[in-house]
Amino acid sequence: MTTATPAEAAAHFRAALAFHTDVSDVAAALAADGDPGFVVLDSRSAEAWEQGHLPGAVHLPTALIPERAERLLDRNVPVVTYCWGPGCNGATRAALALAELGYRVREMLGGFEYWAREGFAYDTREGRGRRAADPLTAPVAAVNCGC
């Protein structure tokens, strides 16, 4: 097994932080007073959207990004994409499609699955929902892990 040099590793992880964010950071930014400085985009199907999505998110399935992004998103506002969860690359594909159209974009790691598992409120077709925080995903009172 070969390993990268410390400088190569630092460059890689610095770049990763420029392209990714996590559920807790998105939740904190959305909960703070004022403009969070980004819009959240749910790239899943209409059926998945109706089962639950982040409050205030824009719904735009990945396949429709080329034809609808310009009507729904401001190019001057960064976009944070999410899909179902860590086992899905839909948010990555949505982020790629948006970047190719000229949008500044980051992917929310964990997706909707971890949003719900960490105990944050979400909207459904029936109204607002919230699950108890899963202690394995939100061990410190659903605030953050201390990292």
71, exposed or middle or buried, with CB in 10 Å at 0-12, 13-18, 19+? exposed
Q: Residue 107, SS3?
A: strand
Residue 121 pLDDT level (bands cut at 50, 70, 90): very high
- 137 neighbors 114 (Cβ within 8 angstroms): yes
Q: Which strands, in side-by-side order, build the sheet including 105-109?
A: 20-22, 105-109, 79-82, 39-42, 58-59
* Residue 1 forms part of a structural domain: no
Residue 143 pLDDT level (bands cut at 50, 70, 90): low
Residue 80 pLDDT level (bands cut at 50, 70, 90): very high
Q: What is the pLDDT of residue 1?
A: 86
* Residue 35 forms part of a structural domain: yes
Stated as kind and residue range, the H or E segment containing 28 is: helix 23-31
* Residue 102 forms part of a structural domain: yes
* Residue 134 forms part of a structural domain: no
Helices and strands per DSSP (H, E), number in the chain: 6, 7
* Residue 32 forms part of a structural domain: yes
Number of domains in the chain: 1
pLDDT digits (tens, 9 = 90+) for 18-69: 999 999 999 999 999 889 999 999 999 999 999 999 999 999 999 999 999 9
* Residue 115 forms part of a structural domain: yes
Q: What is the pLDDT of residue 47?
A: 96
Stated as kind and residue range, the H or E segment containing 109 is: strand 105-109
CATH number at residue 42: 3.40.250.10
- Virtual torsion, Cα 129, 74, 95, 62, nearest 10 deg: 70
Tell me the average pLDDT across 115-139: 91
Instruction: Show the domain range for 61.
Output: 13-129
Please check the confidence at residue 145 and state whether its pLDDT lies above 90. Answer: no
* Residue 7 forms part of a structural domain: no
* Claim: this prediction has a pTM higher than 0.85: yes
* Residue 51 forms part of a structural domain: yes
